[in-house]
Structure 1
Amino acid sequence: MKHSKLLLALAGAFVLSGCQYDILSPQGWVGGQERNLLIISTLLMLIIIIPVLVMILYFPLKYRADRQDLTDYDPSFQHSNKIEVVIWGVPVLIIAALGYYTYVYTHRLDPYRPLDHLDAGAPIEVQAVSLDWKWLFIYPELGIASVNELAIPVGHPVNFHLTSATVMNTLSIPALGGMVYSMAGMETQLHLIADSTGTFPGRAAHYSGPGFSRMTFDTLAMSEQDFGKWVEGVRAEGQSLDRISYLDLEKPSIADPVSHYASVEDGLFNRIVEMCVEEGKVCMGHMMMQDKMGGGGIAGIPDAAAYSHDRERAIDGLGNPIALPAPEPRAIHAAAPGAADQPLSTSARRSTQMEAVTHVH
């Protein structure tokens, strides 16, 4: 019996040896706050769970049918104010406490809330794009980009702007904090910070097809000096990320190696958000503004190719591209060539997105 228990314990330890406990051992302020909320919520709920588990065993044993001592049996018992206070008062207090802490931490950990209150170093801007099946990280202030590798300086807030070039996905770096969804045609934000150096795994946390399990990356949290060296190393590699090279990168692929880009075309991220990287495509902001003004109607049917996005990105269940016949494109706004495929400013894009959400031809 003794040996069997030992073997069972060893088997459990072996099964759990591959687990990572980043959520309970965070390396950033955001992750630390989320761990605290998790612990507080768990302890509050255990106030109910533990007594219930004890009573599940205690009452059936104490009041079993074959017990000998029946002196505590009172057939006239109907009500107890003390019991009512306990069974209603304690849960109400626990729910109130859970609501309070949830409210506090929800506002404290708002993904859109900058981490300026930490009095940390200057923030680093990162534009993250989820692709099939890889991550693209653009550093707009530095003019560089990387694929499947995120480098950040320790002690500096990282201001993420996220979008997707394909299906909905989720950026997750458990050691640093929570995650947020990325969606095509939309831009969202997330703010994280690393408190210590190290390599922290990141991944896509939302199923997105056959390459989902390999859609991972390393987050390299390093000192300012090492981060500067990393930036210079990326700039020395000489590759350029422009609209043409991005469209090649966007093609579905699985388990891509880490790659870097020494320069990035201005406004590329805005074009990705607006879904108009290809020449001749109408950007989402202009498309929705046209919708607000009444749309193209039947007369706009020949222009369908300029408004199409998913057709060129169709894939089968294994991630292989599917060639679909595309509508014949035609020039848009002949009176102002090129104007239709220029992305709107961020403020203009947000205002149009609030006013219209769909376009049908």
Structure 2
Amino acid sequence: MPGTGNELGRRQSIPILYTRGTHYEVGFDVGRTFGSLIESFVNSSTALNQEYLPAYNTPGGKQAYDATLNNLIQNYPQYIKELEGIADGSKVPFYKLFLLHIDDVILPTVHKEGSKQPTGCSSIAINLKDQAILGHTEDALSETLNHFYFVSAHIISDKPQGRWNVKEEKFTSLCYAGHLPGYTMNYNHHGLVFSINTISAKDVQPGKTPRHFLTRAMLGAENFLQVQQILRDTGVGAADACSVNMTFLQQEGDRVFHNIEIGPAINSSETQLSALTISCGEHFYHTNEFQRLKENQANPLMLLSSKCRSETFKNHHPPSTFEDVVEMLSDTSHPEQKVFRDQPNDYVKTIAVGIFDCKKKTWSLYSDNPKHNEPLVVLPLVLKNSKTN
């Protein structure tokens, strides 16, 4: 079995793949290029091997798997083809990669509670006249350390794809090994910049659209109305929950950020949505709990971590600069529930920190605590029909 990321220690390395083609071709190139990372991650993933696979091997779990897959084949066939490409390119079975994408959705068919691992992320947005920043810690189970990469893709289809009839997508996304783009921190050529915070809803809905596919579809969005349409997913609705922190770099008028909480479509064919606007002069942060939606939450360890990280942010003065965001996302002051997580025996580690400077149109990526390290890379945000803000 390949060594896990933890055995290697924290590497100062984030590989990037530039790729162009159909959904399947892009997926295949990702799988072929990062096959060893994907295989290593699949072999070492405790969530996959100790939770999702045992659930899949039960009648209820297989039924939830099939119902969810059939929904996606009908509504998002292009992303299933993309994932098939990753599986074929990496020579890792499709069903294992698909299980990583439906995660908690399959678990309540076996036991009432979903995953109990305290995974999650922290996001901070500041929207001032002279500063517009979105910062994010990418926190994941410790074996995810060193199992991630950038995908910069230009996908061109000969005919409209999926329920939103998308023919072209161009984006850059930080991806966990073997995962579709869209569920960490990302931007597309229309100027959409966004980060994701996982929320563990108690009443997940097998057969509906997993959050990972909703956020994958966001990479094709041209404006805020399209983002809302994608997340609302009318006719099906979300299977689970997350929070989206976002802005458009080229929007008309004053810049606004949005935080959108999405909750599972319970007794409904439409996602629960709660959108908050962060106007000029305001700041905002989100961890891994519902701040506005009144929905039951699972995973007490994640909730505890979220509340502690939120309290830590409240102890800082209101952020107004890039450096303030670095300081907050680097915070290790809490004795147990730190913002930047890197304790030797932590189940969860901060695998990367990203900060989008929406004025300078840059994306700074740190593979270690940004308070003590320079960014490993600063990527320019390359946009379609770029305008002066």
- TM-score of Structure 1 vs Structure 2, range by shorter chain: under 0.3
| TM-score for the superposition, normalised by structure 2 | 0.23
Identify the structure with bigger relative contact order (alpha carbons < 8 Å, sequence gap 6+).
Answer: 2
| TM-score for the superposition, normalised by structure 1 | 0.24
Whichever structure has more strand as a proportion of its residues is 2
Whichever structure has more helix as a proportion of its residues is 1
Higher Rg: 1
